[in-house]
Amino acid sequence: MIRIGKIVATHGLQGAVVCTHIVGSSNWLNKGDVLFVELRKESYIPFFVSSVKVANDEEFILNVEDIDSMEAAKKLVGKQVYVKEDILADAGSDSPLLWIGFNMVDKEKGSLGAIEDVYLAGAQWLARLTMEGKEVLVPLVDDIIIQVNVKNKFVRVDLPPGLIDVYLE
């Protein structure tokens, strides 16, 4: 599953919620799709979308089945939202969200490990890996990325000298 955003507010009295997302476009979510809400740590509860309205490129106003009051919707506010990879397949393979689980391979150092998560920090995407038991953040910028191979699930990079060493010292 891929973390795509979070529920940030309720909307109206009928249980609608405002969901922010980091996908980049807003044409990928449809009625009937399933969103997984992390109600408790690593507890992903499925919610079926009963209606979706695009607020802008970063927000949806959603109604989900079985949430029909503001009180019920309030319980979802602040919770992380996930989707299965196939829902985002049409959003474009260039989205770093789809690279979670891909192996990151450096031109010099070889395999660095699997991309565990990606974050959007301002306008900058970062990949999180664990190396030698430590969290490592790698910027996903055109100057560093050599190749993204979706079929074989790897991202080939040319990291600046010393970038990884900062984390491992």
Say whether both 104 and 150 belong to one domain: yes
- Which amino acid is located at 19 in the chain? C
- Which amino acid is located at 21 in the chain? H
What Rg, from alpha-carbon coordinates, does the chain have?
A: 18
Say whether both 111 and 36 belong to one domain: no
pLDDT at 113: 94
pLDDT surpasses 80 at 23: no
Band of pLDDT at residue 9, cut at 50, 70 and 90: very high
pLDDT surpasses 80 at 35: yes
Say whether both 87 and 100 belong to one domain: no
pLDDT surpasses 60 at 153: yes
Say whether both 64 and 124 belong to one domain: no
Say whether both 35 and 48 belong to one domain: yes
pLDDT at 75: 94
Say whether both 154 and 129 belong to one domain: yes
Q: What's the CATH number where 114 sits?
A: 2.30.30.240
Q: Which residues pair with 144 in a beta bridge?
A: none
Last residue of a domain, one of 91, 122, 141: 91
Band of pLDDT at residue 53, cut at 50, 70 and 90: very high
Query: Does the model's pTM come out above 0.85?
Result: no
Band of pLDDT at residue 55, cut at 50, 70 and 90: confident
Digit-coded pLDDT (tens) for 106-152: 999 999 999 998 888 877 889 999 999 999 999 999 999 999 887 88
Instruction: Establish how many alpha carbons lie within 13 A of residue 69's alpha carbon, considering only the half-sphere containing its beta carbon.
Output: 2
Structural domain of 140: 96-168
DSSP single-letter state for residue 98: G
User: Pairing between strand 145-149 and 154-157?
Assistant: antiparallel
Digit-coded pLDDT (tens) for 62-117: 999 999 999 999 999 999 999 887 777 655 556 787 788 899 999 999 999 999 98
Could you tell me what percent of the chain has a pLDDT over 70? 93
- Which amino acid is located at 105 in the chain? V
Instruction: Establish how many alpha carbons lie within 13 A of residue 45's alpha carbon, considering only the half-sphere containing its beta carbon.
Output: 14
The domain total for the chain is 2
Q: What's the CATH number where 62 sits?
A: 2.40.30.60
